[in-house]
A and B are shown apart, each in its own frame.
Chain A
Amino acid sequence: MHAEAPPHAWLAAGRRLLAAAAVAMLAFAAPPARAESPPLREVPVQALAGAAKSNVPLATSSLGLEVGVETASILLLALQGAEELEIEYQASGILLLTFLTVDASARSLPDHRGPPYRYVRVPPGRGRLDLDLLSTAHWSRTGIPYLLLEGSGRFIITRLRYRPSPSDRASLREALDRAVFFAPLPIGYTTVNILEPPYWSYAEGSFLYDRLGAAFLVLAGILALGYLLARRRSPPAPALALAALVVAAPADLLFLGKLARAAPLSVHLDPEARIRENYAYAPKLGALAALARATLRPDDRVAVEGHGPDWFAPEALCFNLAPRRCVTIRPGEREYVGLAGVDRLRPDEVDAIVSIDADRPLPDGFSRVAEVSDNAYIARRR
């Protein structure tokens, strides 16, 4: 029979652990502190057009700055060093806003889907968006906000306020560390192999789990020494368990909070609603997939097409249309191929086409039967 720890073993271990923790705390800094932030500054609506560059024509009206979105519209705001944006808007259609920061002098734009991937779905109507730029990729004091609107619809900025970054280096570092430390887990369709590594200090490039690991080693070392001096061989299991718990629990709670903030936690009993609503970073795709599932017959042979070399939308559509036979259109090919090469169809075998942001017109012989927008529709052979 193994040695049994008496019922008070956990309490005794806890007392020793507290003493050890007090010593260990001296070696480690407190979590990122809240830095003093400068107040928000207003950008007059009339000045917005001058402060913005875009790949689409911008229009100003009495309402504000208007951006039309057909596929993807970019807004670069000349607000160097802004750490937060507060946008009041009026919107229509299905829109996704991805935001990051880019170097004003950079010749090419970074991959906006690279980590950390920050996006927000824009609910139609009037509303307000608070964008934390500090936790986005490539933030720097010389960077400017990069807003990417995807989907189909209209977005009018009716009021824009921004918070400049703190002027002193220490406050800026604290603000940056804090923003990254508590930012929601960025989840996208490339979030597979690794999650965004949690930083202790983003500015220093030090990782949270290196700190926690070291804290555990210090705690365990103090405990081991303490028990050794008390003429016992080694700390009992409860003491080690409590030490691990003390170190792991805050990190667990932090992770749970970051995951919960990124997760779709609403309850939709209808699976069609879940497809329509929960492609969080591709709302137009979700709406189209749900519409196609409702429109197409189970025995339809389907071809899908997306924008240029984009693989995500065609794969997502074909998957959601399964078990229908489904392939991706490759112009000029004599046979189209589907997911994993399983389905194969000749162009003349296709009954219906599901198209999203495609560069090509609909092939002859097909006509639209349902649509989410001008460039997201379902067509059937006439």
Chain B
Amino acid sequence: MSFLLAVALLLGSGLSLLSALRLRTGRWAVDLPLSWFAGTGGFAMGSFALRFLAGVRYTAATALAVLALPVTALALRALLRRGGPAPAASVPPPGGRWLPRPAWLFALLAAYVGATTAVVVLQGVNTPTQTDDGFRVRAFAPVLAFRDVFGPEAREVLTMAGPVPSYVPSLGWRLTGAVDHFHVNGAILVSLVAFLALAVALASSRGRPERGWAAAFAALSLPLFVYHCTTTYADATLALYLGAAFFFFLEFGLEGRGADAERALLLLLAAAMVKREGELVAGAVGLVLVLQVAWESRRSDRRLLARLGLLCLPYLLVVGARVASVGVEGAFPFLRMAVHKAAAAPPATVPGAGPGVSAAAALPPFLWAVFSSGSAGILYWVLPVAVALRLREIVGRRLAWALGAVAVLLLQAGVTSLWLFPEYTLNQGTVHRQLIPVSVLASVWLAALLAGEQGPPELAALPAAVGPAGRSKARRAG
């Protein structure tokens, strides 16, 4: 029960946060799953910063206070506005269509999505934590957050896990005092359900339910991702937060609504708080998003760019809290590793492969991981073919920026797997898990390309402000 209470509070806090930032879409089916990602991100950010920057103990009272922050902000804004002109009501965009076409085909996809989700939820909720990294880091970090006693080792664990996987599962424990380890599993499963619901609801609300169902199907066609939704590792969680952000990134590209770019950035900030790697991958996607906004507003209104900058500011609290917790070197371990690697003159020594093995030796196992291992299904066979055959459409429908984000992530994974840590590629180690977030984003992108073409008839009748021709006018529309 404490888990359900925590979920309800996080959803409420998330909805308030979206309202305070005026980022609600006006459709409950979209806003509810969106509020899970926003609410958990906001709660984790607040709790982490309060503990390590302000030194405030993590208690039920402080947890509730953090959850209530967006509500307070919303109330304050309403108070300040009293007497002034009423804010414009959030009007849902027109063009919603909830039944995909052809129905028989998408009924099959929906059946697969439903069956797979059921198996994953049952397995996930049933399986106790069972792996070394789960015991020592991923599922242990929430316990440390709950205990709230931090020696250097505990701080290190919390930093490795990240604020979202540490604080979100511990909320129910903190409120009731009873620790149920399965809340860690539960938090991942709720994220999966929210991700799938967001995929379908968002695309449907924009008149293209085919794209939503195809995205859900494509993501659930990634075997290693599906499996990791049932473990207490954080790779699937990272992919889910990134994927949720990417839905809005794509929508911004397709329809040009500025609010979608803001929603995407908000969720990317939450993704950055999942694992140490979160900042790297979310940062890369966020950078491409900001570049797209900057490029498209180069001759017009730059207010969206400024709003994105403002949205990023609170993240400094997380960086500050992390530096306060583990010091500057501990706070940026990848930077330290990259510098160390670049400075190392002799070629890497790969355990089990003898000295002097170059990164080129890791290329065949990397390609095997991508194409043959089955970790990502047939995604990487389809992706290049689809890009090659639909190049004009990619540019025409403004999917190129989002594809750029996928490419940057793939490049990042390639550099890490071939240059920074070739040993974990040669032994088929972490390379597969590192590709999970890339694969989820790539599958969502592919679904948008291949299943998003059949637009609704209603779209043609929309005012120009909503279509690409009127994008600059529609930039501030919800």
Chain A, residues 173-202, CB within 8 Å of chain B (1/0): the string is 000000000000100011111110110000
Closest CB in chain B relative to A210 CB, distance in Å: 5
Residue with the highest number of chain B CB atoms closer than 10 Å, among A1, A237, A266, A315: A237
A248 interfacial by beta-carbon distance below 8 Å:
yes
Asked whether, in the complex, the Cβ of A195 is within 8 Å of the Cβ of B375, the reply is: yes
Closest CB in chain A relative to B225 CB, distance in Å: 11
Partner of B428, one of A11, A193, A259: A193
B98 interfacial by beta-carbon distance below 8 Å:
no
Asked whether, in the complex, the Cβ of A274 is within 8 Å of the Cβ of B126, the reply is: yes
> Chain A: which residue is nearest B468 at the CB level?
A1
Of B58-66, B136-144, B279-287, B317-325, the segment with at least 4 beta carbons within 8 Å of chain A is B136-144
B83 interfacial by beta-carbon distance below 8 Å:
no
Give CA–CA (A210, B116) in the complex, Å. Answer: 23
| Residue total for B at the interface (Cβ-Cβ under 8 A) | 86
Question: In the complex, which range does the number of interface residues on chain A fall in?
Answer: 35 or more
Instruction: Classify the secondary structure of B's interface with A.
Output: helix
Interface residues of A in 280-312 (CB under 8 A from B): 286, 289, 311-312
> Chain A: which residue is nearest B224 at the CB level?
A195
Closest CB in chain A relative to B13 CB, distance in Å: 25
Residues of the B chain whose Cβ atoms lie less than 8 Å from the Cβ of A234: 389-390
Asked whether, in the complex, the Cβ of A286 is within 8 Å of the Cβ of B128, the reply is: yes
Asked whether, in the complex, the Cβ of A341 is within 8 Å of the Cβ of B153, the reply is: yes
Residues of the B chain whose Cβ atoms lie less than 8 Å from the Cβ of A347: none
> Chain A: which residue is nearest B102 at the CB level?
A10
Do A259 and B119 contact each other (CB < 8 Å), given the known contacts A192-B131, A237-B451, A323-B179? yes
Asked whether, in the complex, the Cβ of A278 is within 8 Å of the Cβ of B105, the reply is: no
Closest CB in chain A relative to B148 CB, distance in Å: 10
> Chain A: which residue is nearest B137 at the CB level?
A340
Closest CB in chain A relative to B382 CB, distance in Å: 5
A229 interfacial by beta-carbon distance below 8 Å:
no
> Chain B: which residue is nearest A253 at the CB level?
B112
> Chain B: which residue is nearest A185 at the CB level?
B227
Asked whether, in the complex, the Cβ of A241 is within 8 Å of the Cβ of B389, the reply is: no
Asked whether, in the complex, the Cβ of A319 is within 8 Å of the Cβ of B140, the reply is: yes
Question: Given A217-B385, A220-B385, A238-B450, 12 more contacts at CB 8 Å?
Answer: A2-B397, A4-B459, A10-B101, A189-B131, A191-B227, A213-B378, A244-B386, A248-B221, A251-B221, A251-B377, A264-B127, A340-B140
8 nearest CB pairs, A to B: A213-B381, A263-B123, A241-B450, A315-B135, A341-B153, A264-B126, A319-B135, A237-B453
| 21 A/B residue pairs, CB under 8 Å, sorted by A | A1-B459, A2-B396, A208-B374, A209-B373, A213-B371, A213-B381, A235-B389, A237-B450, A240-B386, A251-B374, A252-B116, A259-B119, A263-B122, A267-B122, A279-B128, A315-B135, A316-B129, A339-B140, A340-B136, A342-B144, A342-B153
